[in-house]
Copies of this chain bind each other. A is one copy, B any other.
Amino acid sequence: MNEIVFPPEITEYIGTAAGHTIGMVIANVDPVVRTLLHIPEQYSSLAILTSRTGAAAQAIAIDDASKAANVELLIFELPRDTEGYSGHGNLFVLGAQDVSDARRAVEIALAGIDERAEGIYINEVGHMEMHTTANAGPVLHQIFSVPLGKAFGFICAAPAGIGLVTADTAMKAAPVEIVWYGTPSIHLSMTNEIIIGITGDYGAVKKAVDTAYQKGSDLIQTFGKVPASILHFK
């Protein structure tokens, strides 16, 4: 009685994270929406994570979440966004048989995104996303064709020509293998980036990503400020 609910309860809302990310669940998806989005019969609950900025930080954090909760990636989209910069936003939809699994996946992912967003760097002329993870799970396998259980490195720089030089630099820095790549018109959404996803021994992947980060950062600084992690400047 006289209970004040403020702000109003939003049943779907779980929380937010870096990169203007919001995490939500739908406990029982509407049957028409289910058909439209080709949600398989066995899932009635959806875990939803969606951001204005970033792609791989979210993918890696959601991959980690998928190892800890009983969920399956159903939809992955890379809209052109980054709030006026030249990269992506994202949409991840995961199916769960039980809403508690969906909720747990979102909670773990949001915490992970707040850590992983350290690897998203932006300045006024470019951006980079640089990540290494030791142990790819089913989401990274599905999105970027990383072998399950292997190390994964994500090397992305913009504008696209800088991405090309960082990719070339990474490949020369350590014995790694490319499992996925994108240019504006290939696998991307006409964003101004070149991206490679790499695998190999963890040490080699880390060295390739670190070397690429340094090269991209140096090049972007030739005509702009030091690219700062979005955790620090936003």
| A residues adjacent to B (C-beta < 8 A) | 7-8, 10, 12-13, 16, 20, 22, 24, 26, 29-30, 32-33, 36-37, 46, 48-52, 75, 77-81, 83-86, 89, 91-93, 125-126, 159-162, 164-165, 167-169, 171-172, 177-178, 181, 183-185, 189-194, 215, 218-219, 221-224
Q: How many copies does the complex hold?
A: 3
Q: A29-B168, A49-B161 are in contact. Are A83 and B84 (CB under 8 A)?
A: yes
Q: Which residue of the partner chain, among B52, B78, B165, contacts A24 with CB atoms under 8 Å?
A: B165
| Distance, CA A8 to CA B91, complexed state (A) | 39
| Distance, CA A157 to CA B66, complexed state (A) | 26
> What are the residues of chain B within 8 A of A169 when measuring CB–CB?
12
Apart from A12-B169, A91-B194, what are 11 other A-B pairs with CB-CB below 8 Å? A12-B215, A29-B168, A30-B171, A50-B159, A50-B164, A79-B86, A80-B189, A80-B190, A86-B89, A89-B192, A91-B161
| Distance, CA A194 to CA B222, complexed state (A) | 33
> What are the residues of chain B within 8 A of A126 when measuring CB–CB?
52
> What are the residues of chain B within 8 A of A193 when measuring CB–CB?
79
| Distance, CA A218 to CA B8, complexed state (A) | 8
- CB-CB nearest in chain B for A160: B91
Some 6 contacts from A to B, beta carbons below 8 A apart, are A10-B215, A22-B161, A50-B160, A50-B164, A80-B189, A81-B159
- CB-CB nearest in chain B for A181: B36
Query: How far in angstroms is the closest Cβ of chain B from A129?
Result: 16
Return the 8 tightest CB-CB contacts between A and B, nearest first: A50-B161, A84-B84, A189-B190, A79-B192, A79-B184, A91-B160, A30-B171, A48-B161
B24 touches A77 (CB 8 A): no
| Distance, CA A96 to CA B11, complexed state (A) | 50
Query: How far in angstroms is the closest Cβ of chain B from A71?
Result: 15
Q: Which residue of the partner chain, among B52, B125, B184, contacts A86 with CB atoms under 8 Å?
A: B52
Query: How far in angstroms is the closest Cβ of chain B from A230?
Result: 13
> What are the residues of chain B within 8 A of A177 when measuring CB–CB?
32
Q: A89-B86, A89-B159 are in contact. Are A223 and B22 (CB under 8 A)?
A: yes
Query: How far in angstroms is the closest Cβ of chain B from A184?
Result: 4
A192 touches B160 (CB 8 A): no
Q: Which residue of the partner chain, among B26, B91, B190, contacts A183 with CB atoms under 8 Å?
A: B91
